[in-house]
Amino acid sequence: MVKHKDALMNKQSTSSSNPEIYDIIVVGAGMVGSAIACALAIDKRGEHLRIAVVEASDKPATYNSEAYDPRVVALTQASRKLLHSLHAWDTIVLQRACPYTDMHVWDAEGTGSIHFDCLEVQQNQLGYIVENSLIASTLAQRMQNLQQIDLLCSARVSSFRKDGDSNPSLILEDGRELQASMIIAADGANSKLRELVNFRTREWDYGHNAIVTTVKTEQVHQHTAWQRFMETGPLAFLPLEDELMDYETGCHHSSIVWSCKPELADELMALDDEAFAKRLGEAFEHKLGNIEEVAKRFSFPLRQRHAVDYVKPGIALVGDAAHTIHPLAGQGVNLGFLDVTALRDEILRACERRIPLNDESILRRYQRNRKINNLGVMAAMEGFKRLFGTRNIGVRWARNEGMRKVDSVNTLKNIIVKQAMGL
């Protein structure tokens, strides 16, 4: 394969009658799109593949370690394994990743609570909290070092074309046309490609906004992920590694996700930092003492969305383009990374068996593997949201009883925690 990487990145337009030919085009260089591109290029079986990654932003993702990114994810062991296989994990850990050893979940309306401890499942940690921009920028660096990948920034898709049995192609806003045997849409929750190809979705508002920010607490976070379920929605404190961690003073920073009804979110967003810190401390029952500092806050509406199909001839949806889910169990990108692993395995298996990449069985197998699993997790999250959002006294009693039971039966607790860890 002949490479003209620099020439390609700088090229502004190509006649649409003369498409650039690739084996695979990935749209979206977020965490999921970058991961699938790297996962294919890094494997021996995929080393002949020519991959284009089309990204709307004007430059590859960057990371600023001087401040915390307000968007973080709780990565499962399965996600960590994937990032490790992409040679990205060591770079991430060297920069900033906070292992959490315990998880404490409790009901604001009663005495029910569950405590998960990594030692109970013979692990050194339950997972890691990592900033989104650190993951995306590390994968962007990997992509730039992988010969087979052309990362095309400032590139927006304007239309999708597929005539009969021909390979699909994309027309970019600047007029360039790219053609490939397979297109992977990883362009996030509001996927333009999903819309252009008329994928149907089932979606509804959760009736929640999520407020995210970074806070400094009076007491150390104990490398614990905390979640308090309130009738108005869950509040999570996710531990962050302090910049200059002092073993005597310990770590005091956490990323918070406060999901609540939009009216309450608007009210909380309108408060000044001091008043917000006071409300947050109260909502969190001062588990870590007073909230001493609050960074800039952001509020996102939460919407559940699930594509009815993940694949059509020549194209597959992955990550948030296929499914978006309530952040209460921190599973969004973890499901996206499971999509990556499943699609990677199908594509590489096809390469090994010399099956052409436009063979429809590849994508059908991917869909069969992932859709049922994602549906199950999404249904569970919806169930949790409803269970904790009810005013019904009987349900509240049963909920607290249930939490106490789960907490006291180790085998049951271990099954739940292993599932959540992606083990």
Ligand X SMILES: Cc1cc2nc3c(=O)[nH]c(=O)nc-3n(C[C@H](O)[C@H](O)[C@H](O)COP(=O)(O)OP(=O)(O)OC[C@H]3O[C@@H](n4cnc5c(N)ncnc54)[C@H](O)[C@@H]3O)c2cc1C
Question: Which residues in this chain contact ligand X in the complex, by CB under 6 A?
Answer: 27-33, 54-57, 73-74, 132, 156-157, 186-189, 192, 210, 212, 257, 300, 319-320, 327, 330-334, 336
* Residue type for position 303: R
In the complex, minimum distance from the CB of residue 332 to ligand X, in angstroms, rounded to a whole number: 3
Under DSSP, the state recorded for 397 is H
Task: Label the pairing between strands 177-185 and 20-27.
Answer: parallel
The residues, ordered by sequence, that sit 6+ positions from 8 with a Cβ below 8 Å of its Cβ are: 20, 150, 152
Residue 254 or 334: which CB sits closer to ligand X? 334
Tokens of 245: 């961690």
At residue 383, φ and ψ (nearest 5 deg) are -60, -45
Residue 73 or 307: which CB sits closer to ligand X? 73
In the complex, minimum distance from the CB of residue 413 to ligand X, in angstroms, rounded to a whole number: 21
Residue 221 or 396: which CB sits closer to ligand X? 221
E strands within 28-156?
51-54, 72-75, 98-100, 102-107, 113-117, 127-131, 149-152
In the complex, minimum distance from the CB of residue 350 to ligand X, in angstroms, rounded to a whole number: 23
Residue 388 or 396: which CB sits closer to ligand X? 388
Output the residue with the shortest Cβ distance to ligand X: 30
In the complex, minimum distance from the CB of residue 134 to ligand X, in angstroms, rounded to a whole number: 13
Q: Classify the C-alpha dihedral 200-206-208-213 as positive or negative.
A: negative
Q: How large is the greatest C-alpha to C-alpha distance in the chain, in angstroms?
A: 68
In the complex, minimum distance from the CB of residue 24 to ligand X, in angstroms, rounded to a whole number: 15
Nearest to 254 by CA among 290, 212, 216, 292: 216
Residue 33 or 281: which CB sits closer to ligand X? 33
> Cα-atom radius of gyration of the chain, to the nearest Å?
22
In the complex, minimum distance from the CB of residue 295 to ligand X, in angstroms, rounded to a whole number: 14
In the complex, minimum distance from the CB of residue 110 to ligand X, in angstroms, rounded to a whole number: 25
Task: Label the pairing between strands 177-185 and 315-317.
Answer: parallel
Q: How far is CA 311 from CA 53, 109, 110, 114, 178, in A?
A: 19, 43, 45, 39, 19
Residue 210 or 351: which CB sits closer to ligand X? 210
Residue 334 or 367: which CB sits closer to ligand X? 334
Residue 12 or 122: which CB sits closer to ligand X? 12
Under DSSP, the state recorded for 321 is G
In the complex, minimum distance from the CB of residue 100 to ligand X, in angstroms, rounded to a whole number: 11
Residue 234 or 330: which CB sits closer to ligand X? 330
Q: Are 174 and 185 in contact (CB under 8 A)?
A: no
Sequential DSSP letters for 99-134: EE-EEEEEETTSS-EEEEEGGGGT-S-SEEEEEHHH
In the complex, minimum distance from the CB of residue 249 to ligand X, in angstroms, rounded to a whole number: 26
Count the Cβ atoms, other than its own, within 10 Å of residue 43. 18
Q: Classify the C-alpha dihedral 166-172-178-181 as positive or negative.
A: negative
